[in-house]
Structures are given as structure tokens and as C-alpha cells.
Chain A
């Protein structure tokens, strides 16, 4: 029997161990930058408001809104007895949170997550245009702007201008929404501007994420697709409700795979039925035909929120927890703003609950 030379065994061993070591190190190098960020995010998730906290807020009078939030993370941001002050506080908190998260993100993903800054440009633009739509004064609009984003200085100069000047000013920026402004001028319907703003933000995100082949971005691209589907679905439902033709609605959509269904269906009900056989079905599982458009959109938002929560638990180390947290926090802040507004207007707790997203 030939005895194998120990040296050959050793060489084989070195190769086997080398392969193990290479695979282990490669995986560690991939996840190492995200381990710290994920840990911070998970610790922050522990401080998300639970049902009990929301119930307490819903049942308290408006005057106690800030008092109830005192022992939460929002405590040092919210104050005052008017909705505008509370809203400003919540948005300031959101801005600081975004800044913190941008600081946590590893360098190789910074470009992809720059939407956390661009969101503020879109939010400020929306504030200006809503203010103009509602006939607010220049000072009132400027008071509501949050100093964040890339083109804050430009946006700050827009209150007091005409719509045409606003459209012109935005033409050289990534936020060219001339189409939405034209439709708004023609119909008086602000939703066109809403959709146009959302679209430019998502187009920017898509542009940054496309072409990047990193494995960790797979989950980000998945979620981005959910947001795109949600935008397109809401735009199509609105379009169908107002009788907007396929040719006209197309420019507000990022994807129009269901053009034939849109054209051929008589109204929203029939369109919804057809959509249940398409890839949008996951967003309209809870949408019933008898709901009004606002309730339908709320159900779609809840479906998006569920997807975000799902994404949070898909990966232990990766962008999943980060995306999930951002989604849940966004929904929480939206609920708080809505609650404050409704309570200031004296809406009953039962009615307030109907408007809130189910977290």
C-alpha cells in the first residue's frame, strides 16, 4: 500500500483552509460595514411607537399632544399649541434622523441613498406649491420650509412668484415638473403636481441604483420597484376616477404595462378587477371597489408599509433593516402629523383612527 506523502497532505490542507478562509473573509468584508449601522437601526426600532402610544395620543385632547410626546424621541422637537409648530417639530426630527442615517451608511452606498437629501427638495417644493394653491402669503410659505436638501436656496426664492416662473426655475434642476404644472393649470387639480414630484424623486433613485451590481442593493431595488408600482397605481386610479385618457396619464407613470387594461375598463371598479390579475395585485389585496379614492390610496400605502416591514426581516446584515426602519418611521411621522391636524380641527377619535395608517 502506497503511503501518501505528508507533504502532499499538507499542501492539500493549505488549499482547503485557504478556500474556507477566502470565502469567510469575503463574506465578512461584504457585511462588516453594515453590521454597525444595522445594530443602531435595530436599537432605534425598539423606540418606534406602539399601539398603546398611538391610542393614548388619539384619546388625549389636542392641547396635550406635545405633553404625551414628551417622553418619546419627539419630545425635544415638538412644542407649542398650534399644528404648524408641531408639524415643524416633527419635520425637524425627521431631518436630523435622515442626517444621522446618512452618516451611518457605508461610503459605497452613499450615492444610492442620496434620496434622503433629495426628499427634502421635493417636500419643500410641495410646501411652496401647496401654499400657492391655498393662497398663502410669501411669509407663511417660507415659515413652513425646512432648511434641507440640495436646492433650498432656490426653493426659498420661489414663494411670491407665478407658477410659470416656478416651472421655469425648476427646468435646469432634477425636479423639472413642467408637465405636472401644465396639467394643474389646465384642470386645477393639485394631484398632477403631487404625482409629478413623486415621479422625479423615484426617477432619481432609479438612476442612482441602476447599473450598480452590488448584491446588497438587490433589496433596495426590490423596494424601489414597490414604490414605483405604488406611484403608478395611485396615478392610474386617480386618472381613471377623473376620466383621464391613457395618452394623457402615460407621462405621469414610470411603467405602463397595463395600458390595455386602463384603456378598456369602463371605470375604477372594472379597472381594479383587471388589476387583480396583474403584478399590481399585491398592492390591492385589501382594496375593495366600494371604497372612495382616498381610502383606496390608504390601503395601497398600507400594502407598501407591509412590504417595507417584510424587507426589514429579509436580511440580518444588509440594507433590509435600514429600508424597513425608514419605511416604518416615515409612516409613524405621517400618522403623527395627520393626527395633530385632525385633532386641531376637532375630529373625533373614531374618525381619526380611520385616517391613520395601520402600523
Chain B
């Protein structure tokens, strides 16, 4: 069993923030786009395919949060290695979790872009590809957040 230290607390908090904020942000993004999608298919059920694809895009920030939490738990040794976690390591893990959590807020904006993309597809189906491209733009910052978290762990030599 891992010994309770302040470092463990920070590491777990980091994992919780990464997953928690990722989940909430993706939930909101998928929610907004889902409402829009239902509006579109209530008028034109044939648009279900494009609507589903657009609705799926804001989910990725939740996946990054999930991934980030696992990296934190494995990297700090909460899962696997049974060694006390120092305060410094815990704080590094917390920082990694925070950056993933904060950048996951882009899922809310991405959901709104996806909803607007559905409106465009409803009116002009040929804009589907362009709508996807524009929706994915918001994703880049969440990807940077995940990358920074990974770099933090590489920097402190845990991965």
C-alpha cells in the first residue's frame, strides 16, 4: 500500500483535476452539440451521420483528461510502485493535472462550434468537411495541454 504523504495528496488531486475537469468540459460540449443535433435530425433524420460525427469531437478533451490521470497515477507510482511520493513529485503531478484540466475547457467552445457546424450542415450538407476542420481547431490547445503535462513528467524523469 502506498504510504500517505502530502505528495500523494497532490498527485491524486492532480489526477482528479485532470479527469474531473476533462469530464465536465467534454460533457458540456457534447451536451450543447447534442441538443443542436437533435434539433437538426427532428427536421431531417437523414443528417444523423454528420451530426453524430460532429457531436463526437468535443469528447476528446475528456479522453485527454483520462489519459492524463492515468499518466499521473502511473508516473507518480500510485499505481504499481510502492514508494512514498515526495512533495515535489506530488506538486509536479498536480501541475500536470492542472494544465490538462484548464485546457480541457476548450471542449465547451468546441461543442458550440460543433453545434454551429450542425446548423451549417443542416442547411448545406456540402459544408460537412469544413465544419469538422473548424471544430477541430479548438482541440489544438487541449493537445498542447496534454503535451505539456507529458513534458513535465519527462522533465522530472518519471516517464
A contacts with B, residue count (CB < 8 A)? 22
Contact yes or no, B40 A43, CB < 8 A: yes
Q: Tell me, yes or no, whether A20 is within 8 Å of chain B by CB.
A: yes
Chain A residues contacting B105 (CB-CB under 8 Å) are: 20, 24
Within 8 A of B (CB), among A1-32: 6, 13, 17, 20, 24, 28, 31-32
Judge whether A35 and B102 touch: CB under 8 Å: no
Bound complex: CA A48 to CA B37 (Å) = 20
Decide yes or no whether A39 CB sits under 8 A from chain B.
Answer: yes
Interface class of chain A by DSSP:
helix
User: Do B115 and A28 have beta carbons less than 8 Å apart?
Assistant: no
Interface residue count on the B side (C-beta < 8 Å) = 31
Q: Hey, which chain A residues are within 8 Å of B30, CB to CB?
A: none
Using CB atoms, name the residue of chain A closest to B25: A24
A35-B39, A35-B115, A316-B112 given as contacts; is B123 within 8 A of A42 (CB)?
yes
Interface residues of B in 90-128 (CB under 8 A from A): 91, 94, 98, 101-102, 105, 108, 112, 115-116, 118-120, 122-124
Asked whether any CB of chain A lies closer than 8 Å to the CB of B81, the reply is no
| A31, A35, A36, A44, most chain B CB atoms within 10 A | A35
Chain B hits for A45, CB < 8 A: 122-123
Residues in B neighbouring A175, C-beta threshold 8 A: none
A38–B91 touching, CB < 8 Å = no
Taking a contact as CB atoms under 8 Å apart, the answer to whether A32 and B102 are in contact is no
Interface secondary structure of B, over-half rule: helix
Q: Which residues of B in the span 8-41 have a Cβ within 8 Å of any Cβ on A? A: 10, 21, 28, 32, 35-40
Determine the chain B residues whose CB is within 8 A of the CB of A20 once the complex forms: 102, 105
Q: How far is the CB of B56 from chain A (nearest CB, A)?
A: 17
Partner of B123, one of A32, A35, A43: A43
Q: Are B36 and A43 in contact (CB under 8 A)?
A: no
| Cβ contact within 8 Å between A24 and B108 | yes
Q: Which of A28, A36, A46, A317 contacts B122 (CB 8 A)?
A: A46
Check: A168 CB closer than 8 A to any chain B CB.
Answer: no
Which A residues form the contact surface with B (CB < 8 A)?
6, 13, 17, 20, 24, 28, 31-32, 35-40, 42-46, 316-317, 321
Known pairs A35-B115, A36-B35, A39-B115. 8 more at Cβ < 8 A? Answer: A35-B36, A36-B39, A38-B36, A40-B42, A42-B39, A46-B124, A316-B115, A316-B116
